[in-house]
Amino acid sequence: MLTSQHSPHRLTLAPLIIAAVALALGACDCGRMKGPTATHPDLVANPVALSFEACPTVDEEGNPVADVFPDQQKFTLDNLGNATATLSFQISGPGADQFQIAEETKIESLEASGTAEIAVNFSPKASGDVSAQLTIDDGDPDTEPVVVALVGSGRNLPAQPSIRISYEVPGADEMADCIANFDGKIDNCLVSWPDTFIDQTSTLRMKIRNEGCPTLKITDLSLEPMAGAPAVQFFMEQPAIPPTQEAPILLSTAAGTAEQELRIRFEPKEDGTGDGQRYAQLTVRSNAAKSPESLVTLFGYTVTPAIYATPPYCNFTDANDTCGGTKIPTNGSNKKAVFRIQNGGTASVVIDSVTFRAPASGRFEVGALNPQGKTINPGESEDLEILYTDNPVYVTDIVDVVASSGGQPAGKASIRLSGGVLPCLTTNPAQTLDYSGTTDDPAVLPLEICNGTSPGECGALVISNILVTQGAPLFSLKSSLPQGTEIASGTCQTIQVQFDKPIIGGLQQGTLEISSNDPDYAPPSNYKINLQSQAPLNQIPVAVLEGPGGETNAFSRDLSATVPPELLIHGEHSYDPPDFSPGSPGGIAKYQFLLAKKPPAATADLVDPSNKTGPSVDGVKGTLDQVLLKLDPTIAGEYKVVLVVYDETGLQSQQTELKILMNP
């Protein structure tokens, strides 16, 4: 199956066209000569049809679109004959002007038994399917030319960056969209968190998606309290590193990174006002055409719990923790403790359940005193007994005591339980895997997961899970550790984290989370490693083509009045953004002028202005930023000059053209 190297998606029409054309071309033995091959070249292309998909270079109103990249596909050209092929390439058909052979792969000849890889770029002018054919002639009149079918699809997406913001609906396994105004701006979106107890947390996911074809650049994600609200009590967990104007988050359909997930934590605190409502505003700044500043209101309601547990935690193996004075040995090193469940509200409550969050450890269980099913009146309490079975491996668990009153939730008392010898989770590097200086693609960096620095210093470190929770699929685990892996004290084990570099560069971020039995990094916080790569934004250069008087697009002259019969064509105003601009051109490493059209039978050429009698520079990629168009003094008609420029990284511009009508 033919696929684009830059996009995993395909419109449905293009593969059907490709299949039909490939079948026809495969059956015709195109390019093979008639008769013996002893003294002839014999060209064969594989595959005989290419499929492309890319963003249009102009939007629906005809305006140019910034930061769009051509789709490039390649085919292999083999010379199976015994003579050198002198090659000429021609693209024809209704979509010919949207396909271009990559000049760095274009060759003039192919020796016998030789092989070459030819690349073709596709830059659509609109959405939808277009087709053309590439004809390759080997210069031998006794052989047939090779034909490669080209089918391109301009993506059927908005031609400008377009932002979509969605949010998690509490209590439902679904996401809802922020609704834009009639003008496309998002500034009236409300996201509500579930009611949250004071000093506890609740986290919701939000997603920012690029619905357009070009890259969406997120330059700011800021959380601020609403007017009149207390200090902000909403916090951004992901992304860990906020974007900036200089280091934006880039969302690209072409690179497969069209979506960014946010995780926002609501952590209410008592503010003394008696008002349980909490508000904040999320501002998303981007290059979205219709909503460059999107505003989202965040709302949460605080709840004061009716029941409490005393003490709220207990470490059964820590001699300094008496667990409220109730911890006593039971059998050997096993222990038990009693916790008081108190009703601090104004109405009676019923204890609905007493449950452990991680019962699989088997180290904690409810003893003889169990308040489940009992009613606790205001100001009264019931006891909960917890039994602990000792083991050197450190474990933690939380027992939740859930209450109701009159059929309505009345709060939850959570008791943190632990026991065993503490592990000492560390990593090398400690906080960040930075791929900014890597040259390989994909780039792979090692991460050591360690348990202290010396034997006997710490308890066994048990790895529960290792996940890339943000930044996939650009960031991924090339190698990991199985669930339940134990790392002995004073030792390390290594995993490998891979980064697949997007073609657009910029700031790319991710988060790696390590779940283990280390209580300092207990779920849901876990041990987090920031993954990041900062590369310059590789924007495509802009070719600017002008006539002798600064004309662009098209102009006309009288042939009889053009003496000598030559015109100076300018390309020196081309530029490579963002370091250069139309008013300050520069940054171009190579210029390539092509004489794409001339009157039939006319003799015309492009030459170096400083060497008018020198060799042709038509199609030559070099440092000349001006060329001289030598006209045929005897034939009037239309000429067309095309310019393509390249920046210092080799990135190619869209082609621009200048039409010249020479009147008699």
Residue-wise DSSP of 264-303:
EEE-----SS---EEEEEEEEEE--SS-SEEEEEEEEEEE
Are 566 and 484 in a shared domain? no
Q: Is residue 494 part of a domain?
A: yes
Residues 299 and 169 grouped into a single domain: yes
Record the pTM. 0.53
444 and 406 share one domain = no
Query: What was the pLDDT predicted at 32?
Result: 45
Q: Is the pLDDT of residue 12 over 70?
A: no
Residues 191 and 289 placed together within one structural domain of the fold = yes
Q: Is 458 exposed, middle or buried (0-12, 13-18, 19+ CB in 10 A)?
A: buried
311 plus 327 within the same structural domain:
yes
Residue 6 lies in a domain: no
- Report yes or no on 546 lying in a domain: no
Identify the band that residue 29 occupies on the pLDDT scale cut at 50, 70 and 90: very low
Is the confidence at residue 622, as pLDDT, over 60? yes
Domain boundary among 392, 419, 446: 419
Do 95 and 224 lie in a common domain?
no
Quote the pLDDT of residue 167: 96
**292-301, 514-523, 604-613 — which is least confidently predicted?**
514-523
Instruction: Answer yes or no: do 171 and 288 share one domain.
Output: yes
DSSP secondary structure code for residue 541 in this structure: P
Find tokens 């085919």 and name the residue: 75
- Share the mean pLDDT of the chain: 88
Residue at 431 is within a domain: yes
Each residue's pLDDT tens digit, 295-324: 999 999 887 777 889 999 999 999 899 999
**168 lies in the same domain as 148:** no
For residue 486, CA distances in Å to 493, 513, 517, 520, 656 come to: 10, 17, 10, 17, 62
- What is the residue type of 645? V
What pLDDT, on the 0 to 100 scale, is given for residue 1? 29
Does residue 297 sit in the same domain as residue 319? Answer: no
Give the CA distances from residue 217 to residues 258, 506, 573, in Å, rounded to whole numbers and listed in that order: 11, 9, 27
Least confident piece of the model among 93-102, 267-276, 581-590, 594-603: 267-276
Mean pLDDT computed over 488-496: 97
Judge whether 653 lies within some domain.
Answer: yes
Residue at which a domain ends, from 502, 535, 568:
535
Query: DSSP labels for 588-632?
Result: EEEEEEEEEE--TT---EEEETTEEEEEE-TT-EES-SEEEEE--
Q: Check which CATH number belongs to the domain holding 455 and give it.
A: 2.60.40.10
**278 within domain boundaries:** yes
What is the predicted pLDDT for the residue at 196?
84
Amino acid at 21: V
Structural domain of 409: 307-419
The pLDDT-based confidence of 520 (bands split at 50, 70, 90) is: confident
Query: What percent of the chain has pLDDT above 70?
Result: 93
- pLDDT of 27: 40
Residues 23 and 148 in one domain: yes
Q: Is the domain of 435 the same as that of 407?
A: no
The whole-number pLDDT of residue 15 equals 46
Residue 38: the pLDDT is 57
**57 lies in some domain:** yes
Tens of pLDDT, residues 188-224 = 999 999 988 777 788 999 999 999 888 899 999 999 9
154, 180, 213 - which closes a domain: 154
The sign of the torsion formed by the CA atoms of 53, 54, 56, 57 equals: negative
Least confident of 110-119, 193-202, 370-379, 602-611: 193-202
Total domains, the chain: 5
Q: Is 107 part of any domain? A: yes
Asked if residues 295 and 277 have their Cβ atoms less than 8 Å apart, the reply is: no
User: Of 183, 174, 302, 290, nearest to 233 (Cα)?
Assistant: 302
Same domain, 33 and 147: yes
**Which whole-number Å values give the CA distances from 132 to 24, 129, 404, 510, in the listed order?**
15, 11, 71, 41
Mean pLDDT of 495-519: 88
The answer to which of 1-15, 158-172, 220-234, 526-540 has the lowest mean pLDDT is 1-15
Indicate left, alpha or beta for 373 from its phi (over 0: left) and psi (-120 to 50: alpha). Answer: left
